[in-house]
């Protein structure tokens, strides 16, 4: 077991990294440390934990801005926002119920993993709402990028680069995000569809309507269910739902509308990939394709003995399937057919260390990537190998 450092402040984080940099000693970077199973495992003698770097540092509801230390548990942020009727736009997933573990996700961890929920299709990804970060690079330097204003194009945007970099380019110590008023009402139209193709066509029709659909998922099963969410003022939701029902009448006969808490619970389930819970021993992949290609990926997953859940109008396919190299290769190939990408999200170490968990990049981009990694983490001590072998 590796030793854990958990400094209570940014200076302590920086000092730990300065020392590791000087000693050329790799560090595992963790929020609350419950996601060691995602992407590739890191071999390191020490873990640097952000768990003590916690607390909201600025919250201006009228400016739609919140800053918090990176180790702040998400429930604490959600509670503060709820007090002012606001919410996290990207609705990042919480997969504890599904995958075990007690610890809540941290703000830094969610941003570092760039995890976004169903609202992604309408309101953007987690990274789209990161306005600014403070972080420590691999040389132990404390740096900032962005700020606390909604629009910012000053210099190179390191916030975006750090989002989704899984702690391999820098350790975020404080994150400033954009937040939004939580909608007054929510309702979901659920249509029973004959197959996945019809389902995605229904979702596309909804997303191509003027009604502001903010969730579009397809749950496989017998029957398949296409679900479309509306969120807005109550009068708007009821008017738009009526129109949406009429517009989508051609896609299926059994149509049902769920509202309020029932609708919210439904989307929490989609967000947290609950429908994949049946096979806890399976590996989990995340495939990103153009929506119309989603059904083919799901079909490939089924042919491999797996299950699929389609979110983002069909464009995000969560797959749970047997943890083998052959499954991985087949899913990667199914994604590549339409120009999409496949990520091995969670699997036993043996598989994670055998295959490329992320799709390979073209050689010139990989070369730039290696130089970017060296520019931010010259000694290669931050989560080495977390995303790609040897990097």
Partner 1 sequence: MIAQPAPKPEILARRAEILAALSTLVPGDGVIGDPTRLKPYETDGLPAYRQVPLAVVLPRTTEQVAAVLRYCHVNGIRVVPRGAGTSLSGGALPLADSIVIGLMRMNRILDIDLDDRFAVVEAGVTNIGITKAVEGDGFFYAPDPSSQLACMIGGNVMMNSGGAHCLKYGVTANNLLGLKFVTIEGEVIDIGGAHLDAAGYDWLGLITGSEGQLGIVTEVTVRILRGPEGARAMLAAFKGTEIAGAAVDAIIGSGIIPVALEFMDKPCIHACEAFAHAGYPLDAEAMLIIEVEGSTAEQDDLLNRIKAICERFDPISLKVADSVEQSLAIWKGRKGAFGAVGRISPDYLCMDGTIPTSELPHVLKRIGEMSVQFDLKVANVFHAGDGNLHPLIMFDANDPDSFRRAEAFGAAILTLCVEVGGCLTGEHGVGVEKRDLMTVQFTARELDQQRALKSAFDPQWLLNTAKVFPLQGASVAMAAE
Q: What is the torsion angle, in degrees rounded to the nearest 10, for the CA atoms of residue 122, residue 128, residue 131 and residue 136? A: 150
What character string, x for contact with partner 1 (CB under 8 A) and - otherwise, covers 150-179?
xxxxxxxxxxxx-xxx---x----------
What character string, x for contact with ligand FAD (CB under 6 A) and - otherwise, covers 349-378?
------------------------------
Residue whose CB is nearest to ligand FAD in the complex, by number: 109
Residue closer to ligand FAD (CB basis): 35 or 328: 35
Phi, psi (deg, nearest 5) at residue 91: 35, 65
Q: By CB under 8 A, is residue 326 in contact with partner 1?
A: no
Closest CB 323 distance from partner 1, rounded Å: 18
Q: By CB under 6 A, is residue 140 in contact with ligand FAD?
A: no
Q: What is the torsion angle, in degrees rounded to the nearest 10, for the CA atoms of residue 375, residue 13, residue 168 and residue 135? A: -60
CA of residue 202 relative to chain centroid, distance: 25
Residue closer to ligand FAD (CB basis): 161 or 234: 161
Closest CB 70 distance from ligand FAD, rounded Å: 3
From the list 4-12, 13-21, 140-148, 320-328, the region that binds partner 1 by CB under 8 A is: 140-148
Residue from 17, 27, 29, 177 in contact with ligand FAD (CB under 6 A): 29
Residue from 3, 24, 102, 210 in contact with partner 1 (CB under 8 A): 210
In the numeric block, which tokens belong to residue 268? 């929490």
Residue 236, C-beta contacts closer than 8 angstroms, at least 6 positions apart: 185, 230
302 in Cβ contact with 268 (< 8 Å): no
Indicate which of partner 1, ligand FAD, none lies near residue 327 (CB less than 5 to 8 Å, by partner kind): none
Q: How far apart are CA 142 and CA 158, in angstroms?
A: 13
Site for ligand FAD in 62-81 (CB under 6 A): 70
- What spatial distance separates the first Cα and last Cα of the chain, rounded to whole Å? 23
Cα 64–Cα 120–Cα 253 angle in degrees, nearest 5: 125
Residue 311, C-beta contacts closer than 8 angstroms, at least 6 positions apart: 117, 118, 120, 216, 217, 218, 270, 318
Which residues contact ligand FAD by CB under 6 A?
29-35, 37-38, 50, 70, 93, 95-96, 99-101, 103, 105-106, 108-110, 112-113, 115, 166-167, 171-172, 284, 345-346, 383, 386
């Amino acid at each position: 077991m590796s030793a854990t450092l958990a400094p209570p402040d940014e200076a302590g984080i920086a000092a730990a990294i300065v020392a590791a940099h000087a000693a050329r000693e790799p560090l595992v970077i963790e929020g609350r440390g419950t996601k060691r199973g995602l992407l590739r495992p890191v071999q390191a003698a020490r873990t640097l934990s952000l768990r003590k770097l916690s607390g909201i540092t600025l919250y201006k509801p009228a400016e739609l801005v919140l800053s918090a230390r990176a180790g702040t548990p998400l429930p604490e942020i959600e509670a503060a926002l709820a007090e002012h009727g606001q919410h996290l736009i990207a609705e990042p997933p919480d997969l504890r119920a599904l995958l075990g573990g007690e610890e809540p996700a941290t703000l830094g961890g969610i941003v570092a993993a760039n995890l976004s929920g169903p609202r992604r299709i309408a309101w953007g990804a987690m990274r789209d709402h990161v306005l600014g970060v403070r972080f420590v690079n691999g040389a132990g330097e404390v740096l900032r990028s962005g700020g606390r204003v909604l629009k910012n194009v000053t210099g190179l945007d390191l916030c975006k680069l750090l989002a989704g970099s899984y702690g391999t380019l820098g350790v975020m110590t404080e994150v400033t995000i954009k937040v939004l008023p939580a909608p007054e009402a929510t309702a979901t139209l659920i249509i029973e569809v004959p197959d996945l193709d019809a389902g995605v066509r229904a979702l596309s029709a909804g997303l191509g309507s003027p009604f502001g659909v903010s969730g579009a998922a397809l749950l496989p099963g017998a029957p398949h269910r296409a679900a479309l969410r509306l969120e807005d003022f109550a009068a708007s939701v009821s008017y738009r739902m009526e129109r949406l029902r009429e517009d989508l009448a051609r896609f299926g006969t059994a149509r049902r509308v769920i509202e309020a808490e029932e609708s919210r619970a439904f989307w929490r389930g989609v967000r947290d990939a609950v429908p994949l819970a049946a096979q806890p021993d399976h590996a989990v992949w995340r495939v990103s394709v153009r929506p119309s290609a989603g059904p083919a990926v799901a079909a490939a997953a089924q042919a491999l003995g797996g299950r699929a859940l389609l979110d983002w109008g069909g464009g995000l396919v969560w797959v749970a399937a047997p943890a083998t190299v052959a499954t991985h290769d087949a899913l990667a190939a199914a994604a590549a057919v339409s120009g999409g990408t496949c990520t091995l999200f969670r699997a036993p170490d043996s598989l994670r260390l055998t295959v490329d968990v992320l799709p390979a990049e073209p050689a010139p981009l990989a070369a730039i990537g290696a130089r970017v990694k060296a520019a931010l983490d010259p000694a290669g001590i931050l989560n080495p190998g977390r995303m790609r072998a040897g990097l």
